[in-house]
Amino acid sequence: MSNIDYPIAKDNDSKSIFKFLVSELKPRGKWITPFNVISIPIMLLGLILIVIRFWKGIGSITNLTQDVPWGLWIGFDVVTGVAFAGGAYVLTFMVYILNMNKYHSIVRITVLNGFLAYLFYAGALLLDLGRPWNVINPIIGNNFGTSSVLFLVAWHFLLYMIAQLIEFSPTIAEWLGAKRARRILSGMTVATVIFGITLSTLHQSGLGALYLMAKDKIHPLWYSEFIPIMFFISSIFAGLSMVIFEGSISQKVFSNQINEKHHRSHDDILHGLSKICSVAMFAYFFLKVIVFIHGKHWQFINTPMGYWYLVEMIGFVILPMLLFFSSYRTRNILMIKLASIITMVGIIINRLNVTVIGFRWDADIRYIPSWMELVVTLAVIFTELWIFRWVVNRMPVLRESPSWVNEEK
Amino acid sequence: MGLNRRSFFKILGVAGATLAVGKSFGAPQKKMENDIEFYGMLYDSTMCGGCQSCEIACAEAYGLPKPTDEPKIGVLRKTDENRRVVVNDYKTSKGEVYIRKQCMHCNEPACAAACLTQAMHKTLEGPVIWRGNKCMGCRYCMVSCPFDVPKFEYHSANPKIQKCDMCYDKIKGCGIPICAEICPAEAIIFGKRRDLIKEARRRIVQNPGVYVDEIYGEHEAGGTGFLYLTPTPINELGFNSAIQKSSYPELSKGFLFSVPTIFVLLPPILLGIHEATKKNQLKEGGENE
Ligand code: SF4
Ligand code: SF4
């Protein structure tokens, strides 16, 4: 399976492209797998709920209140999902800007993952819009709310998705056997990567900056004027933890796609990533401590929210940071994976603390997401995974590029 | 301590503001009251009898259901998607006090700075209005408003944001807001914000002991169009006393100003690093894509 050149690479007339696409659309392999059995009903249920939502209004399936207008869909899908997708800009930075070739074999899968994450999680934003037909206003420019952080973030999402698509496009060209297109597209990579990193820096921090005006609404332990910087730094290790986690799963699930050499180098890659994570986490931790002392937040520690803050800091920042540090020294791969999972849970907790749990923590009616919001969120994630799997099984994402790519050089 | 308040953003922000590109981003409406005279309203809670006339008239004028409950001590009535104004009754150190709540019509409204479609809009006259043909229902205005004013129709497929607009259409036609018109106790007066502050000062000076020496809204959130005279400190009347005295859009200005700076500085730096490291890599003869 690993190194087929599709017949399409030889003859390029349009009829065979069509046939080729149709054949590629068909599912491959077994239908009844545990993943399918779980995901299909949830996706269908999610679809029904989405129809209800557009028919009866957002309140019909969510528990949002007048005090807490942004819930799980923004706090988890968008804010957390985008943090996890941060791996793409960190990795393209390492590979294309720093030219660290060691990580080259995982760039494609990470960019794919990032692109789909943006497509779906930022797409989840549309579900949350009460008047989505007006979404066109800030895009075509008849109403530019340039003083709005959300305006900035929305535009960056859009541009970054395009950038990621271009970054990924050589893979698509290889799949289609489009030699010339591939050459042109891969020539654009460095410029696109630079553009993409700049956009990412700004919108990863921008997601935090969204909450700057909600000064009196977010619990003081989580609000500070440094939210943007903290969101940015934490997106580095959030993204890389996702890369580690996703990589270890892909190694198993898509093992037929990966050749021996990459299998072996994977441990080395994880090892390098864990080092970066530990350093970034240290910087994050340091900043958190400074903000805490600077804000004189001692009086909050001995409250329920204070304990929760300590849980986040000790259990989900210090602990995984130490695990990353020590696994870097002992080269313990299992520990790296464990640390990455704890980090990811910690990121979820942190983002939800800012956006949902600590947001109007003093409201009379606390917002607790409904099961339907959860189902829709899961449905979005599963749909993304389906497409992810479809692409990985067909395009040279994990496996070697077709042989003509190297011949060309 | 090396980290001063906002100093990091400030540095970036100053740099950003000096770049020409900086003009399009950031800089939330700089319409200060010195340039334009905003209209506003002055509400004297010592004169308010809690008769709900304003609530009823407002509901009628905007096609909303009539209020079915009354102000009562111990009951907190809130504005919502069906009412733009509420009157509440509080037991205070100075006895029973009625107080109404609605949009404050901030001089520098957080809601308008937040809105990415300019649907929330500070008009030249002063009222902050919502324009349905622009709004995309993201509810970021609700997240940002420090007074929790904009309300959203969660149970509609064509949801609107509901909030007081100071009867903007009437004002444009030289009328006055319906509540100021209807109030039998004349507790609400409409006028230029500057005149209202003068009037409020006059009342405070002439009736010592009746009012606290403070006009709520004069400085809150950078100054608001709706002004309150109260007999007791405002936190006895269910207001959030944590509201800062400076404008809320200011809080995200630093970030917005730093955007052009980063956009101009970061790409060349990245390109430079790329070029520098490419040489090493060519020596090693690694694969390049
Ligand atoms: S009170 Fe809230 S809704 Fe009214 S103008 Fe100020 S920020 Fe906007
Ligand atoms: S809900 Fe409408 S008015 Fe409010 S910020 Fe979003 S687009 Fe603007």
Cα B15–B19–B21 angle (5° rounding)? Answer: 130
Q: Which residues contact A263 (CB under 8 A, 6 or more apart)?
A: A251, A255
Looking at residue B199, its amino acid is: E
Domain boundaries, position A297: 50-408
Give 3-state DSSP helix, strand, coil % of chain A, rounded to 5. Answer: 75, 0, 25
Q: Cα separation of A408 and B184, whole Å?
A: 87
Is residue A401 situated within a structural domain? yes
The neighbour count for residue A298, using CB atoms within 10 Å, is 10
Quick one: pLDDT at residue B283? 55
How many domains, in total, are found in chain A? 1
The neighbour count for residue B257, using CB atoms within 10 Å, is 23
Instruction: At B255, list the tokens.
Output: 């970030």
Cβ atoms of B143 and A150 closer than 8 Å: no
Q: Which residue has the higher pLDDT, B286 or B139?
A: B139
pLDDT digits (tens, 9 = 90+) for A296-307: 888 898 999 999
Query: Positive or negative CA dihedral for B129, B29, B220, A153?
Result: positive
> B89: which strand partners?
B98
Cβ atoms of B280 and A99 closer than 8 Å: yes
pLDDT digits (tens, 9 = 90+) for B19-60: 434 344 434 444 444 556 899 999 999 999 999 999 999 999
Q: Cα separation of B236 and B223, whole Å?
A: 21
Q: Which residues line the pocket of ligand 1, CB cutoff 6 A?
A: B 103-106, 109-111, 128, 145, 147, 149-150, 163
Cβ atoms of B190 and B44 closer than 8 Å: no
Quick one: pLDDT at residue B35? 56
Q: Which residue has the higher pLDDT, B8 or A37?
A: A37
B138/A55 touch (CB, cutoff 8 Å), yes or no:
no
Region A271-277: what's the mean pLDDT?
A: 92
Residue in B9, B110, B262 nearest the CB of A198 = B262
With CA atoms as reference, report the closest residue to A118 among A388, A397, A340, A399.
Answer: A388
Q: Which residue has the higher pLDDT, A259 or B33?
A: A259
Res. B216 pLDDT band, cuts 50 70 90: very high
Is residue A45 situated within a structural domain? no
- CA separation (Å) from A87 to A195, A198, A370? 16, 14, 30
Is residue A39 situated within a structural domain? no
A98/B277 touch (CB, cutoff 8 Å), yes or no:
yes
- CA separation (Å) from A328 to A266, A269, A273, A281, A342? 14, 11, 9, 14, 16
pLDDT digits (tens, 9 = 90+) for A105-124: 899 999 999 999 999 887 78
**Between A and B, how many CB-CB pairs are < 8 A?**
197
Is residue A32 situated within a structural domain? no
Quick one: pLDDT at residue A256? 80
B136/A57 touch (CB, cutoff 8 Å), yes or no:
no
Quick one: pLDDT at residue B22? 38
Phi and psi torsions of B269, nearest 5°? -60, -45
Quick one: pLDDT at residue A98? 92
A213/B114 touch (CB, cutoff 8 Å), yes or no:
yes
| Domain residue ranges of chain B, discontinuous segments joined by + | 39-251
With CA atoms as reference, report the closest residue to B187 among B52, B78, B39.
Answer: B52
The residue in chain A having the minimum alpha-carbon distance to the alpha carbon of residue B267 is A194
Quick one: pLDDT at residue A73? 93
ipTM of the complex: 0.88
Residue in A57, A143, A215 nearest the CB of B117 = A143
Mean pLDDT of the residues in chain A? 88
- CA separation (Å) from A125 to A121, A179, A184, A388, B138? 7, 36, 33, 20, 8
Q: Cα separation of B180 and B173, whole Å?
A: 15
C-alpha of residue B134 to centroid of ligand 2, in Å:
8
Residue in B137, B142, B148 nearest the CB of A131 = B137
Quick one: pLDDT at residue A268? 87
Q: What is the CATH number of the domain that holds A351?
A: 1.20.1630.10
In CATH terms, B39-251 corresponds, of 2.40.50.140, 3.30.70.20, 3.10.129.10, 3.30.70.141, to 3.30.70.20
Nearest CA to ligand 2 atom 7: B135
pLDDT at residue A14 tops 80: no
With CA atoms as reference, report the closest residue to A203 among A161, A141, A140, A144.
Answer: A161
Nearest CA to ligand 2 atom 2: B135
Pairs from B33-37 (Cβ < 8 Å, separation ≥ 24):
B33/B107, B33/B193, B33/B194, B33/B223, B36/B124, B37/B192, B37/B193, B37/B194
Mean pLDDT of the residues in chain B? 86
H/E element holding A367? none
Q: Cα separation of B115 and B141, whole Å?
A: 6
Residue carrying structure tokens 């030219």: A99
- Interface mutation target, options B4, B12, B81, B116, chain A, most CBs of A under 10 Å: B116
B251/A213 touch (CB, cutoff 8 Å), yes or no:
yes
Instruction: At A201, list the tokens.
Output: 């820096």
Res. A394 pLDDT band, cuts 50 70 90: confident
The string of DSSP codes covering chain B is: ----TTHHHHHHHHHHHHSGGGGTSS------TTTS--EEEEEETTT-----HHHHHHHHHTT-PPP-S---TT-----BTTBS-EEEEEEETTEEEEEEE----BSS-HHHHH-TTS-EEE-TTS-EEE-TTT-----HHHHH-TT---EE-TT-SS--EE---TTHHHHHTT---HHHHH-TT--EEEEEHHHHHHHHHHHHHHSTTTS-S--BTSSGGG-BSEEEE-SS-GGGGT--TT--SS-STHHHHHHHHHHHHHHHHHHHHHHHHHHHHHHHHHHHT----
B138 Cβ below 6 A of ligand 2: yes
B281/A99 touch (CB, cutoff 8 Å), yes or no:
yes
Residue carrying structure tokens 């050459």: A183
Query: Positive or negative CA dihedral for A127, A131, A136, A142?
Result: negative
Phi and psi torsions of B44, nearest 5°? -105, 105
Q: Cα separation of A106 and A111, whole Å?
A: 9
For residue A146, list chain B residues with Cβ-Cβ distance below 8 A: 24-26
